Amino acid sequence: MKAVDAGVNQPLAEGVTLNLHAGRQIIRNYSNLNYTDWKVGVTKDFGFVVGAISYIGTNASRADYRWNDIYVGSHAVVGTVTKNF
């Protein structure tokens, strides 16, 4: 198995960051399991908490990436709020 990842966090404004990620997983001798994943998101520091929203996706094979008959390579929008103590 081989994995390649690249990510960029680019400041857009005071306390706002663009988050970009792309990755590739390669399975030797079983190319059906190869896939690419990505994320595009924005993080905002509010001072007391940090909020983020991201769109995450993959091109993983619908036939090969199933668990209990559910496709686990779906695209999703994910939001988080983090507080550091």
Q: Would the pLDDT of 47 be above 80?
A: yes
Domain range for residue 24? 2-82
Residue 66's CB is within 10 A of a number of other CB atoms, namely 13
What are the tens digits of pLDDT across the range 70-82?
998 889 999 999 9
Structure tokens at 52: 């983020």
What are the tens digits of pLDDT across the range 31-44?
989 999 999 999 99
2: confidence class by pLDDT, cuts 50, 70, 90: confident
Q: Would the pLDDT of 5 be above 90?
A: no
* Structural domain count, the chain: 1
Give the pLDDT of residue 23: 95
68: confidence class by pLDDT, cuts 50, 70, 90: very high
Tokens 């690419």 sit at which residue? 36
Structure tokens at 45: 């520091």
Residue 13's CB is within 10 A of a number of other CB atoms, namely 8
